[in-house]
Amino acid sequence: MSTQVKQNSKVSLFIPCLVDQVLPEIGLAMADLLRKLGYEISYNPRQTCCGQPAFNAGHRTEARTVARHFLQTFAEADYIVSPSGSCTAMVRNYYPVLFAKDDSLMTQVKSLQKRTFEISEFIYAENKVDQISGHLDLKVSIHNSCHSMRELGIDNQIEEIIRRIDGVEIFIPQVEHTCCGFGGLFSYKMPDIASAMAKSRFEAYNGADLDVLIVNDPGCIQHFRAEASSAGFKGEVLHLVEFLQKAMVSA
């Protein structure tokens, strides 16, 4: 996304359901990181789900109800930043699908599209990469979520951000990127297949002796952490913001 964020903008935190209910440390780490980068942040407690689960399950009416609430909640936000690529993609790419026949709401949707970012692309769009610093003597690798790659066009941005941390060795798997198997409702409807997909993805890191696998989506993180032991993966699985928080504390 090429939209340039205005300097001194206020950032509203868009906290996905999974972070709110299961992985709150990711939301706290993102808030801490944004403050370190000089932003004034806010959290609107009226926010709920973005509507992605209902949308993916084919319940368009229910998804619209939730999405309308989202539009109202963030109507006055300067910029909206989330630690989830999939939820960001829902707002940016699929709200226009939900409200394609509602001209009165499409203006709000188009405005929201320009103001909603996944955290790594926000750092990149804001030219804040050079403000990332720290030191960790760790060997790491990266799993970029499917939604971030396919829906948001996030590619090498995460690697460039991590390279700002001194002492870090980045392992690049020499295999094609594959899905971790989470896929939202997919991992609950098809648990055996989802588990096999996670093990297949972990194979890309076999023999690398990683300290940390850095991931940029909470759904992937939950799935990787659940499958790590059975796949023989002994490193930590951390969200990008958790890793940066740890690194910048050590700076």
For residue range 141-184, what is the model confidence (pLDDT) as tens digits? 999 998 888 889 998 899 999 999 999 999 999 887 888 877 77
Give the DSSP letter string of 6-59. Answer: PTT-EEEE---HHHHHT-HHHHHHHHHHHHHTT-EEE--TT----SHHHHHTT-
pLDDT band at 239 (very low <50, low <70, confident <90, very high): very high
Percent of the chain with pLDDT over 70: 96
Chain centre distance of CA 112:
17
Q: Which domains are delineated in the chain?
A: 10-125 (3.40.50), 131-249 (3.40.50.1860)
pLDDT, mean over the chain: 91
Q: Is the pLDDT of residue 195 over 60?
A: yes
Q: What confidence tier does 1 reach under pLDDT thresholds 50, 70, 90? A: very low
Condensed to tens digits (0 to 9), the pLDDT of residues 31-46 reads: 999 999 999 999 999 9
Q: What are phi and psi of 179, to 5 degrees?
A: -65, 145
- Measure Cα distances from 55 to 18, 25, 95, 143, 192 in Å: 16, 27, 10, 25, 23
Side chain identity at residue 73, one-letter code: T
pLDDT tens-digit series, residues 50-82? 999 999 989 999 999 999 999 999 999 999 999
Inform me whether the pLDDT recorded for 4 exceeds 80.
no
Supply the pTM of this predicted model: 0.91
